[in-house]
């Protein structure tokens, strides 16, 4: 197994596990999740939508088979978008520490974002296949 494949799998697992472990709290309306999304003014639909997209991103990151590189890129892109939103919410509204968690949720968001960026770099060829580029005509 090549080094890039090992790094890719580590990043995919880390991101998917972090996002998947928060799903229980989002989908069961745990008080911490309700508080966060109420503070953001998007409870309950924001909590449920975020959980759904995190579930989809986790599944895409771990999807096996022939199109694994493409699903990894899609999952990494979706993960990065979600985590940019989470990091932004922490920096502007929630604060880095939320309800005495010592900044744990913020660190999780940054960790998933970094893993997603690494995945997009490793799978750059697949990213370029998904971006339609038209040649300049003079």
- For the cut 80, the answer to whether the pLDDT of residue 15 exceeds it is yes
Of residues 37 and 1, more confidently modeled? 37
Burial 75-87 (b: 16+ CB within 10 A, else e): bbbbbbebbeebb
Q: What is the 3-state secondary structure (H, E, C) of 85-124?
A: HHHHHHHHHHCCCCCCCCCHHHHHHHHHHHHHHHHHHHCH
Tens of pLDDT, residues 24-71: 999 999 999 999 999 999 999 999 999 999 999 999 999 988 888 889
Structural tokens at position 109: 């968001």
Tens of pLDDT, residues 57-112: 999 999 988 888 889 999 999 999 999 999 999 999 999 998 899 999 999 999 99
pLDDT of residue 69: 83
- Residues in contact with 77: Cβ distance below 8 Å, sequence separation at least 6, in sequence order: 116, 120, 127
pLDDT of residue 120: 93
- Strands, E assignment, the chain: none
pLDDT of residue 138: 57
Ranges of each domain in the chain: 3-130
């Amino acid at each position: 197994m090549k080094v890039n494949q090992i790094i890719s799998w580590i990043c995919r697992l880390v991101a998917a596990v972090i996002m998947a472990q928060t799903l229980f709290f989002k989908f069961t309306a745990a008080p911490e999740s309700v508080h966060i999304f109420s503070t953001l003014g998007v409870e309950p639909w924001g909590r449920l939508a975020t959980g759904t997209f995190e579930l989809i991103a986790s599944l895409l990151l771990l999807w096996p088979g022939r199109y694994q590189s493409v699903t990894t890129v899609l999952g990494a892109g979706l993960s990065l978008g979600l985590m940019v939103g989470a990091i932004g919410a922490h920096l502007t509204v929630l604060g880095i520490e939320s309800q005495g968690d010592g900044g744990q949720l913020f660190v999780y968001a940054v960790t998933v974002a970094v893993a997603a960026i690494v995945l997009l770099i490793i799978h750059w060829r697949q990213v370029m296949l998904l971006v339609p580029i038209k040649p300049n005509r003079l």
